[in-house]
Chain A
Amino acid sequence: MHELSITESLVSAILERVDGRVQTVTLVIGRLSGLVPESVRFCFDICTQGTRLEGAALDIIELPGRARCLACDQEFELPDAIPLCACGSANLEIISGQELRIKHVEVAV
């Protein structure tokens, strides 16, 4: 359950940066980030209790994994963390899918 400590850090990162009551939090989570969005949702409700984020809606934008093969230079979607190109090479550069970012928040005015 690394999602719990990661969700704790995202809640404190928001509290440090914005004043006022937070109504919506938008996260970007890549499919290769090692984070389960449903677990983050579960932890978010717990971690926000008693804070200015309590009751805030959580929007999660999931990004697919993408990789470039360093053997044949093809770019393709990577459905999981097992790197394998159609050409047989496993020597890949991950281009996206490892994101774990707070995109923006909506704050009451």
Chain B
Amino acid sequence: MCSTCGCSGDGEPVVTDLSDGGKHSHDHEHGPGHSHGHDHGPGHSHDHDHDHDHDHDHDHDHDHATTVTHQPSTRLVDLEVEVLAKNDLLAARNRGWFEGRGILALNLMSSPGAGKTSLLERTIRDLSSELSLSVIEGDQETVLDAERIRATGCRVVQINTGSGCHLDADMLARGLRTLDPPAQSVVFIENVGNLVCPALFDLGEASKVVIMSVTEGDDKPLKYPHMFRAADVLLLNKLDLLPYVNFDVERCIGYAKQINPDIEVLTMSVTRGDDLERWYDWLRRQVTAA
């Protein structure tokens, strides 16, 4: 249900523009009486009851040839369709859209609470005088993260996925239409906090950035191999908490490299500001390449 007007969004994602007084848009229209239309595909039928009594006897004659051949009751249709083809096509469209405008798009993924939003707040504070930045926030519910980003003065749009556990290429395209980022800028896409599902959905980003924190345990790369295999760079955050947790940094990096030999690993503490310059250098290199 939409939290603003109370209408049923049919589980549809909701895009909220934080710089516009929290105005939100649905991809459906409200007609008079608040009705939602729906289309019937060719095979979508409704049942109708008809009384159909036969009040007379009648015979059907039919002849069987000596050899009876029955037509098969089904026919096989070869499809060989990739299930994610539709998302991949939309992601390719997003990628072309970014490239045409010289925009660097980064897909930030992590478990909930690893520090994605804090990293963005800090990055915006430190780099906004140097780079043009904007943010798309993905969460199941609330605009809390978008409000944090807006407080930094950065342009931000929130996508609420409702029951969805990840952003997909279509949701991102809709968010981008609202965000309307300028050419030659950087768009951070903060995915829904989840180390499983977002790994499978290409959004059209230039790079996938996975963030994990030392409070999560050093074995996470082995437990969620799809995510760490898909990522281009791993940001290992909250190193300031190392004295309080049982976490072996070298072992964690070893596991990540075992899953993905090409992954680049940057350690940092966002709250204390440790080693952020390496992340900023990485970002500047991507901007130059975009």
Contacts and interface: CB of A to CB of B under 8 A. Distances in A.
Interface of A: 1-2, 4-6, 9-10, 12-15, 17-21, 23-24, 27, 34-35, 50-52, 80-84, 90-91, 100-109
A80 B225 contact: yes
Given A2-B197, A5-B168, A106-B76, A34 B258 contact: no
B205 to A, nearest CB: 17
Interface stretch (B36-44, B91-99, B241-249): B36-44
B283 to A, nearest CB: 27
Q: How large is the interface on B (under 10, 10 to 19, 20 to 34, 35 or more residues)?
A: 35 or more
Nearest to A94: B229
Contact of A104 (B77, B166, B226): B77
A2 B165 contact: yes
Interface in B69-101: 71-87
Contact of B259 (A12, A50, A82, A108): A82
Contacts of B77: 17-18, 104-107
Contacts of A14: 79
A3 B257 CA distance: 28
Contacts of B282: none
Given A13-B81, A101-B83, A84 B258 contact: yes
Main secondary structure of the interface of A (DSSP, over half): mixed
Given A105-B79, A107-B77, A20 B84 contact: no
Nearest to A32: B226
A82 B258 contact: yes
Given A1-B165, A19-B42, A107 B75 contact: yes
Interface string B55-76: 0000000000000000111111
A1 B201 CA distance: 13
Given A90-B261, A106-B76, A2 B222 contact: no
A88 B222 CA distance: 16
Given A105-B76, A109-B72, 11 more contacts: A6-B84, A6-B200, A15-B43, A19-B43, A24-B74, A51-B43, A52-B43, A90-B259, A101-B82, A104-B79, A106-B77
The 8 A-B residue pairs with the shortest CB-CB distance in the complex, in nearest-first order: A2-B197, A52-B43, A81-B225, A106-B74, A102-B81, A34-B226, A10-B83, A102-B79
A82 B53 CA distance: 66
A81 B197 contact: no
Contacts of A80: 225
B22 interface: no
B9 interface: no
B2 interface: no
Interface string B242-282: 00000000000000011101000000000000000000000
B85 A21 contact: no
B176 interface: no
Contact of A108 (B44, B73, B79, B166): B73
Given A107-B75, A109-B73, A17 B258 contact: no
A83 B200 contact: no
The listed residue with most A CB atoms (<10 A of its CB), out of B74, B80, B163, B168, is B74
B288 to A, nearest CB: 28
